[in-house]
Chain A
Amino acid sequence: MFSWFGRVSFVPYSKVQDFAVHLKDGRLMGSRCKQCGYKIFPPRADCPQCMSGEFEFVEYSGKGTVWTYTRIDAAPTGFDRDVPYTCVVVELDDGGRLLAWSGETLPQADVKIGMKVQVVPRIFDDTPDIRVFYTVERPGTTWGKAPAPHLG
């Protein structure tokens, strides 16, 4: 399931692979250690603070600030249909940093270091199989989250 994540996947399995399932449902998840409460993004199974392997997912807002960025014009294998794309490094308000492409609301020319942004969970709609990712958008951008099922 972790193989769903990204345009091309290099990691099929991981103890945090449900990250991709949550992302498909519209939720950006970090992890929290069940033992000592240490919170981290990206999520990881093994606590850097107390070394416990017991963790739970915790939802992140995706709000953040641009730390740096670059527009990549020479693409590696597998990214031909996406190039050029702008990789933006975001410092998340909830802690940690991530790297993602700037999305429809944020053309490359508008990306500035220090600007506020919103990371939005996305599903690729140009592939026959399920693939998920996230993009960096202007603050206030909304997106759908799959509701909990009404099972009567």
Chain B
Amino acid sequence: MSGRVGVIGVGHGRFGRRSDATVQELAFEAFRAALQDAGIDRKELDASVIAAVPEYHKQRSVAGAVQEYLNLNPLPTWLTEVACASGSAAMRTGWMAIQSGLHKVVAVIGCQKMTELATADILALMGRVGEVQWESVFGTTFPGYYALFATRHMHDFGTTRDNLLQVAVKNHHYGAKNPNALFQKEITIEKARDSEPVATPFCVYDCCANADGAACVILASEDRAKALSKKTVWLDGVGCATASMSVLKRPNLTGLQSATDAAQQAYRMAEVTAKDVKVAEVHDCFTIAEIMAYEDLGFCEKGKGGRYIEEKKPYIGGGGVAVNVDGGLKSKGHPIGATGVSMAVEVVKQLRGECGPRQVPNADVGLTHNVGGIGQYCFVHVFKKN
């Protein structure tokens, strides 16, 4: 590899039911903020990579529409799509483009509108991220798939329903302090327990909400980063792995092998271990997913994820890795194409010390864990302050 790749600017729009904007307009909010944060002009960019899941938009080939609206023509661009991991796929692609030497400064934009479809249609579409020939025909849903994991995890390791909801309580606690989050209110575990059932053992509070939104990260080669920025954060570890589309073909339903594999690659490349990570953004599409992430990423032993959250380890100052202290998918909402980039924005700001009431002390190594679908794809990125 030809040198480090750095993040020189980050921008994030408000996630939520954005009936006020098109997907291009959402992308522009984040893009403008990122350029301002980087203190650079648009002319510095030589390419962009765009992450969005196209099926939710009437605009075909949405990358082209975004590129035009951001006034980036005639620069090269293309779409990366791997379901909910699209954002990190775009990050990895930008990183590879710079490592190859072909590009120097790349804008990575994750953007998504989901709420133009009716809820039952979104549920049907998201459910088809499983295997449609043998599974979707029985009305499997995205929460349903993760619920299969939760049922098994509770059986094998004694994880309780309360452990699941403790994840939601934590993430709402931090989301309440995040002005870009969809839900900016704390919740109690009592309220959560009583909410409507979705797919056993999940109720509404176990599930992230569909949302619209965008986030943007500006990547640069080592020499350009040093020239353009005084607060570069380095993307030193990139890991990625896939697993079968069908959950029926996985070796077990208590963890995501793709996450374990991707994390090992990223740790090795960045020359760190799980113990070095101070702050992490993990893919809590459902509460069980965060519990499995603690285990898959090596923050705790396999099977001990329920205990980890019960003991409040992933809170700031809790003694473990501070996880999802921007609210996570649960509180921010999950505009699928944007999430991976949103995670990177948070980790970068944490490593720069810019998070105010949500700042993790001494954050020098951070990690994003972005899962596509039900673990068919996983991207783990390790960021370093120095």
Contacts and interface: CB of A to CB of B under 8 A. Distances in A.
Interface residues of B, number: 36
A3 B143 CA distance: 25
Contact of B121 (A14, A77, A133): A77
Most B C-beta atoms less than 10 A away, residue of A5, A76, A85, A96: A76
Interface string B136-150: 111111011001111
B198 A73 contact: yes
Interface string A132-150: 0100000000000000000
Given A74-B143, A76-B120, A76-B123, A68 B151 contact: yes
Interface in B148-205: 148-152, 155, 196-202
A100 B134 CA distance: 9
Secondary structure at the B interface, as helix, strand, loop or mixed, is helix
Interface of A: 2, 5-11, 14, 42, 67-79, 82-83, 85, 87, 89, 96-101, 108, 113, 133
Contacts of B127: 76
Contacts of B40: none
A46 to B, nearest CB: 14
A89 B144 CA distance: 12
A74 B133 contact: no
Given A70-B199, A73-B196, A10 B143 contact: no
B152 A68 contact: yes
A108 B199 CA distance: 12
Nearest to B135: A99
Contacts of B149: 68
Contact of A10 (B121, B128, B150): B128
Contact of B141 (A67, A72, A89): A72
B137 A87 contact: no
Contacts of A98: 134, 248
